[in-house]
Amino acid sequence: MPDDAAARAAAEEESAFAHPAVDPDATAAYGSHPDQVIDFYAPRAGDGVVPDRSVPLVVVVHGGAWRAPYDRRHITPFADFLARRGFAVAVVEYRRGTAVPVQGESPVAGRWPETFDDLAAAWDALPTLVRDALPQADSRRTVLTGHSAGGHLALWAAARHVLPADSPWRTARPAQLRGVVALAPIADFRVAEQLDVCSGAVLQLLGGKDHFEDRLPYADPVTLLPTGIATALVQGRTDTEVPHAVAESYAEAAARAGEVVGLTLLEDVGHYALIDPTADACAVVAEEIAQLAW
**pLDDT tens column, 175-189:** 999 999 999 999 999
**What is the C-alpha to C-alpha distance for residues 171 and 178, in angstroms, rounded to an integer?**
17
Report strand pairing: 88-92 vs 37-41: antiparallel
Helical pair 280-293 and 76-84, crossing angle rounded to 10 deg: 60
Respond yes or no on whether the N-terminal peptide bond of residue 113 is cis (omega within 30° of 0).
yes
pLDDT above 80 for 158: yes
Given this model, what pLDDT does residue 60 score? 99
Give me the mean pLDDT over the 229-250 stretch.
98
Q: pLDDT per residue over 204-223, tens digit each? A: 999 999 999 999 999 999 99
Residue 90 has pLDDT above 90, yes or no: yes
pLDDT at 255 over 90: yes
Q: How confident is the model at residue 53 (pLDDT cuts 50, 70, 90)?
A: confident
